[in-house]
Structure 1
Amino acid sequence: MRQGEVAPKGSWIGNPTGGVSAPEAVILPDPARRFLRTAARLEALSAGHPMAEWLGFMALLARAQHGAATALGPVAGPAPEAVRQAVEARMPPLAADGHRRDPAWRLTLRFLLDGFDASAVPAPVRDVIANLRDRDAAALEALADDFLTGGVAPADVGAALYVAAALQVYFSRLAADLPVEALRLLPERGLCPCCGSTPVAGIVTASGATPGARYLHCSLCATAWNHARAVCITCGQSRSLAQRGIDGDSGAVKAETCDECHSYAKMLYQAQDTQVDAVADDLASLGLDVLVAEAGWLRHAPNPLLLVG
Structure 2
Amino acid sequence: MKQAEAPPDKAWSGPTHAGVKSPAPIVMPDLARRFVVTAARLDHLAPGHPMEPWLRFVARLARAQHVVATTLAPAAALSAEDIARATEARLPPLAADGHQRSPVWRDALTRLLDHLVAPNASVGPNARMGLNAPVGADSSAIPPQGDDLPPATLALIDTLRTADPTTLETLATHFLRGHIPAADTGATVFIVAALQIYFTGSAARLSAADLRLLQERSLCPCCGSPSIAGVITASGIIPGTRYLHCSMCSTAWNHTRTVCVTCAGTRKLSLRGIEDDGGVVKAEVCAECHTYSKLLYQLHDTQLDPVADDLASFGLDLLVSEEGFARHALNPFLLTGDSEDDIG
Give the alignment's TM-score, normalised by structure 2.
0.82
Matches within 5 A, 1:285-304: 285-304=313-332
Whether the aligned pair in 2 keeps the contact of 1:161 and 1:308 (CA below 8 Å) is no
Equivalent residue number for residue 64 of structure 1: 64
* AA of the residue aligned to 1:78: L
Whether the aligned pair in 2 keeps the contact of 1:94 and 1:196 (CA below 8 Å) is yes
* AA of the residue aligned to 1:277: D
Bigger strand share = 1
Shift of the alpha carbon at 1:99?
2.3
Matches within 5 A, 1:215-294: 215-294=243-322
Render the CA deviation track for 1:85-125: whole Å, top value 9, x for unaligned.
Answer: 11111111110233211110001101110111375211221
Structure 1 CA distance for aligned equivalents of residues 314 and 303 of structure 2? 18
Structure 2 CA distance for aligned equivalents of residues 206 and 73 of structure 1? 31
* AA of the residue aligned to 2:180: V
Whether the aligned pair in 2 keeps the contact of 1:158 and 1:308 (CA below 8 Å) is no
Shift of the alpha carbon at 1:308?
5.3
Equivalent residue number for residue 110 of structure 2: 110
Whether the aligned pair in 2 keeps the contact of 1:97 and 1:148 (CA below 8 Å) is no
* AA of the residue aligned to 2:21: S
Residues 1:22 and 2:50 are matched in the alignment: no
* AA of the residue aligned to 2:80: P
| SS in structure 2 at match of 1:265 | strand
Whether the aligned pair in 1 keeps the contact of 2:28 and 2:207 (CA below 8 Å) is no
| SS in structure 1 at match of 2:23 | coil
Equivalent residue number for residue 125 of structure 1: 153
Structure 2 CA distance for aligned equivalents of residues 269 and 124 of structure 1? 38
Equivalent residue number for residue 89 of structure 1: 89
Equivalent residue number for residue 14 of structure 1: none
Structure 2 CA distance for aligned equivalents of residues 69 and 47 of structure 1? 27
Structure 2 CA distance for aligned equivalents of residues 200 and 240 of structure 1? 22
Distance 1:74-1:159 versus aligned 2 partners, 3 A rule: closer
* AA of the residue aligned to 1:271: L
Distance 1:279-1:220 versus aligned 2 partners, 3 A rule: same
Equivalent residue number for residue 155 of structure 1: 183
Structure 2 unaligned segments of length 5 or more: list them: 1-18, 119-146, 338-344
| SS in structure 2 at match of 1:225 | strand
Render the CA deviation track for 1:30-86: whole Å, top value 9, x for unaligned.
Answer: 111100000000000001211111100010000000011001055342111111111
Residues 1:169 and 2:211 are matched in the alignment: no
* AA of the residue aligned to 2:326: L
Whether the aligned pair in 1 keeps the contact of 2:228 and 2:247 (CA below 8 Å) is yes
| SS in structure 1 at match of 2:49 | coil
Structure 1 unaligned segments of length 5 or more: list them: 1-18
Structure 2 CA distance for aligned equivalents of residues 211 and 73 of structure 1? 33
Q: CA RMSD in A?
A: 1.3
Structure 1 CA distance for aligned equivalents of residues 225 and 97 of structure 2? 9
Equivalent residue number for residue 140 of structure 2: none
Structure 1 stretches of 4+ moved >4 Å: none
Equivalent residue number for residue 231 of structure 2: 203
Whether the aligned pair in 2 keeps the contact of 1:263 and 1:299 (CA below 8 Å) is yes
Structure 2 CA distance for aligned equivalents of residues 210 and 27 of structure 1? 14
Structure 1 CA distance for aligned equivalents of residues 310 and 323 of structure 2? 19
Structure 1 CA distance for aligned equivalents of residues 20 and 303 of structure 2? 27
Render the CA deviation track for 1:136-176: whole Å, top value 9, x for unaligned.
Answer: 11111111111111222221110111001100010000011
| SS in structure 1 at match of 2:116 | coil
Distance 1:296-1:73 versus aligned 2 partners, 3 A rule: closer
Shift of the alpha carbon at 1:197?
0.5
Distance 1:97-1:76 versus aligned 2 partners, 3 A rule: closer
Whether the aligned pair in 1 keeps the contact of 2:73 and 2:198 (CA below 8 Å) is no
Structure 2 CA distance for aligned equivalents of residues 285 and 237 of structure 1? 25
* AA of the residue aligned to 2:23: P
Give the alignment's TM-score, normalised by structure 1.
0.91
Equivalent residue number for residue 132 of structure 2: none
Distance 1:308-1:62 versus aligned 2 partners, 3 A rule: farther
Whether the aligned pair in 2 keeps the contact of 1:92 and 1:193 (CA below 8 Å) is yes
Equivalent residue number for residue 7 of structure 2: none
Distance 1:202-1:73 versus aligned 2 partners, 3 A rule: closer
Equivalent residue number for residue 46 of structure 1: 46
Structure 2 CA distance for aligned equivalents of residues 77 and 257 of structure 1? 39
